[in-house]
Homo-oligomer: A and B are copies of this chain.
Amino acid sequence: MQAAKPFRVGMIGAGYMAKLHSLSMNNLAGYTEDPADRFDLVRIVDTDAQAAEREATRWGWSEHGTDWKTVTRDPSIDVVDIATPNDSHHEICLDAFAHGKHVICEKPLSVNSEFAAEMARKAHASGRVHMVNFTYRAWPAIAQARALIKSGAIGNVRHFEGHFFQDHNNDPTIPLHWRFKKGPAGAGALGDVGAHIIDLARFLVGEVDSVVATTQRFIQERPLPHDRSQKGQVEVDDLAAAMVQFENGATGTIKASWALPGFKNDVYFVVVGDKGAVRFSWERSNELQFFDSADPQPISGYRTIPLGRAHPGAELFWFPALGGDLGVGVTAQGMGYGDAFTLSFRHFINALKTGESPAPNFVDGLRCCEIIDAILASAEQGRWVKVHRTIID
């Protein structure tokens, strides 16, 4: 295997995501066995210099620093990877595109759809590759769900039920970090975890025409990060719930919360068509459920399908083909959250290699922001709101 020239990456943001991104980039070529799938980890920056240094040491970033412009404006860097608070994405992305970079950006794309629209426009105009890291799309069970839907296995979609519920922020002693402030976050649970389930609704069902929504804030005040004896005001939603009308006639509900006890990491959806249904929960991420109404009544029931090499993307991992003709192979070895990022970065590097920006790109990121904005507007105004869709071309 002949080593190809790796893509040179600079990362902005050395928080939780640095680990997942770095691991994925470092290991990708091993998984794919394609020497072109290599990233060179050039520089990582963060406003917190210690964090940047720590992550550089952990994952082999050659350099570290605090100034994000040393990433966006470094001529030796090909790719900018952005994992900063939501309100900084706009400025960084614009600068990156202005300097000819390819960009992968964490979700949500921005704190409102005006910013997001500008980012999508610039991304499109730049001719560079752009991707928003809606990492669940690449998950084999979810990719398989979509494949089943697209194949007609469940017929025409009638109804979608989706939520992303967690419970960790039910702890009132968690300090008032940036995710609880309207400015840097844009939205609360809705932006943080809701962005994912909104994206999956679009991925699995189609475009959202209109929404009606409500939001709740369960914990009004939290300790200040740097003086926990003082409290400050939470400014965002702890729960958002929306009823949605899809363009294709299906209806659905989309919900997000980070403070519902008992839900640990429940990226959940069921998509029901006139011929069947698919169902998934991240809490049992290694299985997909599929109902086929063509099954004879005595054996009619949901199949619980363990992930295996037959599912899109899983072939990279721990499911060896065994040389038999039946293609059974070892299944159900179990994949984890980190593996989702490996698959996202494979998706991204495939785009880098072809120069095209497939979904989920910045237009998908924009669509998500538009839906978030519609949900917030609906919750504030108490009425159905049509999702405004900015044309990007």
A→B interface (CB under 8 Å): 1, 16, 19-20, 22-23, 26-27, 29-30, 33, 35, 54, 57-59, 144, 147-148, 154, 158-159, 161, 166-175, 177, 212-214, 216, 218, 225, 239, 241-243, 245, 249, 251, 253, 255, 257, 259-266, 270, 272-277, 279, 282-288, 290-293, 295-306, 308-311, 317-318, 320, 322-339, 382-384
Determine if B272 and A260 form an interchain contact, defined as CB atoms under 8 angstroms apart.
yes
Contact status of A216 and B251, CB under 8 A, knowing A168-B322, A334-B285, A338-B318: yes
Determine if B322 and A174 form an interchain contact, defined as CB atoms under 8 angstroms apart.
yes
The one of B214, B293, B335, B382 in contact with A170, judged by C-beta atoms closer than 8 angstroms, is: B293
The residue in chain B whose Cβ has the minimal distance to the Cβ of A264 is B332
The residue in chain B whose Cβ has the minimal distance to the Cβ of A318 is B337
The one of B301, B324, B334, B339 in contact with A282, judged by C-beta atoms closer than 8 angstroms, is: B334
| Bound: A382/B385 CA distance, A | 10
Contacts of A58 in B (CB 8 A): 1, 29-30, 33
A62 to chain B, nearest CB (A): 14
Contacts of A243 in B (CB 8 A): 212-214, 241-243, 253
Determine if A300 and B293 form an interchain contact, defined as CB atoms under 8 angstroms apart.
no
| Bound: A303/B293 CA distance, A | 12
| Bound: A252/B322 CA distance, A | 28
A160 to chain B, nearest CB (A): 10
Q: How many copies does the complex hold?
A: 4
A272 to chain B, nearest CB (A): 5
Determine if B334 and A166 form an interchain contact, defined as CB atoms under 8 angstroms apart.
no
| Bound: A382/B300 CA distance, A | 37
Determine if B260 and A323 form an interchain contact, defined as CB atoms under 8 angstroms apart.
no
| Bound: A96/B211 CA distance, A | 46
Determine if B283 and A262 form an interchain contact, defined as CB atoms under 8 angstroms apart.
no
Contacts of A309 in B (CB 8 A): 297
Determine if A326 and B171 form an interchain contact, defined as CB atoms under 8 angstroms apart.
yes
Determine if B300 and A305 form an interchain contact, defined as CB atoms under 8 angstroms apart.
yes
A245 to chain B, nearest CB (A): 7
Determine if A260 and B173 form an interchain contact, defined as CB atoms under 8 angstroms apart.
no
The one of B158, B261, B286, B339 in contact with A286, judged by C-beta atoms closer than 8 angstroms, is: B286
Determine if A304 and B305 form an interchain contact, defined as CB atoms under 8 angstroms apart.
no
Contact status of A335 and B333, CB under 8 A, knowing A27-B27, A170-B293, A300-B310: no
Determine if B290 and A299 form an interchain contact, defined as CB atoms under 8 angstroms apart.
yes
Can you list 14 A-B pairs, Cβ within 8 angstroms, ordered by A?
A148-B299, A168-B328, A173-B325, A241-B251, A261-B293, A262-B276, A265-B331, A286-B286, A297-B309, A299-B303, A300-B305, A303-B304, A336-B337, A382-B384
Max chain B Cβ within 10 angstroms of own Cβ: one of A169, A274, A277, A286: A286
Contacts of A35 in B (CB 8 A): 57
| Bound: A167/B154 CA distance, A | 13
